[in-house]
Amino acid sequence: MAKSKIEWTHRPGTIGRTWSPVVGCSKVSPGCDHCYALRQSHRLQHAPSYQGITIHDTAGLDWTGDVVCLPERLSQPLAWQKPSTVFVCSMSDLFHDKVPRSFQCQMFDTMAACPWHTFQVLTKRPGQMAYFATWVWPYYKTYGRPPLDNDKPGRRPLWWKVEGTGDFFWPANVWAGTSVEGQKYAPRLDCLARVPAKVRFVSVEPMLGPVDLRKWLHDEHCSKRPGTKEFAIAGSCHCDCVGQQNKVLSWVIVGGESGPGARPMHPAWARGVRDQCQAASVPFFFKQWGEWIWAPDELNFTRALLWAGEKIPSSPAHQFYSTGHTAFKVGRKYAGAVLDGREWQEWP
């Protein structure tokens, strides 16, 4: 596959790539409303691999809900000799209900066979990912096939291995992530916490509202983390696990929406998550503002004005009256990714 333009695949010392053995999806929440993969798939609809997965009618552009698995792409990472950071299924969701478990297992076989690469698996269906991690994958490694519907999970430990048959934990080079576009969808992180990945991450993109991640920026077993009785009594976040590595989240990505119909992201939302990450010593990656630039935020506003080489529209396209911030649509290129005077590209 082509090298990736996605900023959070550009990990130092590696090549950023995408790998999409599955195409096609369906919308599950507001973050899907202006999906770039949907637009790109529709543009490619005449290619055999993309036929029948999108529809454009009087209601607009949407997925049909069908997915296409492409076995010929399974071996691609084996041919990449240089270490790469690989975004998996950028044109779909690996844990979509219609992706066969057998194909998911084949993809994980490939990823496990490429320890020199790092694979980033991002899903809006972390419950399906957790089910795969704690039942489907161990069963497959034990019996050589995915479980059937009548193979029920039993009373095994959450992360288990069969005596004498090796370690069936999640591959160490596969990072597990989920998308959270607003506080309503933050409980997805409870499902992500069940995935025994070395690195678990969240993509707050597109950020459509404020998000409080503090509960998941700490060890899930810490008695003083946000959400516990002890935290409520103290009224502050001074956990024993701050600075430790055994946290639910190892990495946080934040970004505004880009493309047609993009919705603005309030600066306070991004700053709030950044401050939460700094307090918990968790790496923070700010991808972009999206299509919008803000005033009064003199640094970004002046920067956009100079880079655009044209006058910012005199009438704002969007306003947050309660905070005095005004958003102007200048495009992703000119809005940039500077937050409070610097770019934030921290890595786990």
Residue at 318 is within a domain? no
Which tens digits make up the pLDDT trace of 12-40? 999 999 999 999 999 999 999 999 999 99
pLDDT at 191: 95
Q: pLDDT tens-digit profile of 92-115?
A: 999 999 999 999 999 999 999 999
Res 160: pLDDT: 55
CA dist 301 and 305 (Å) reads 6
For the whole model, what pTM was predicted? Answer: 0.86
**Model pLDDT for residues 133-148, shown as the tens digit of each residue:** 988 998 898 888 898 8
- The residues facing 179 across adjacent strands are 203
Q: Which residues of the chain have pLDDT under 50?
A: 157-158, 163-164, 232-235, 243-244, 298-299, 303-304, 306-316, 319-322
Give the pLDDT confidence score for residue 2 in this predicted structure. Answer: 64
CB-based burial, 254-263: b 16+ in 10 Å, e otherwise: bbbbbeeebb
Answer whether residue 185 is part of any domain.
yes
pLDDT of residue 222: 60
Domain residues for 206? 7-127+169-292
**Number of structural domains, the chain?**
1
Closest by alpha carbon to 216, among 173, 187, 195, 184? 187
Residue 151 domain-assigned (yes or no): no
∠ CA 254-257-262, rounded to 5°:
160
Domain assignment of residue 336, yes or no: no
In a domain, 53, yes or no: yes
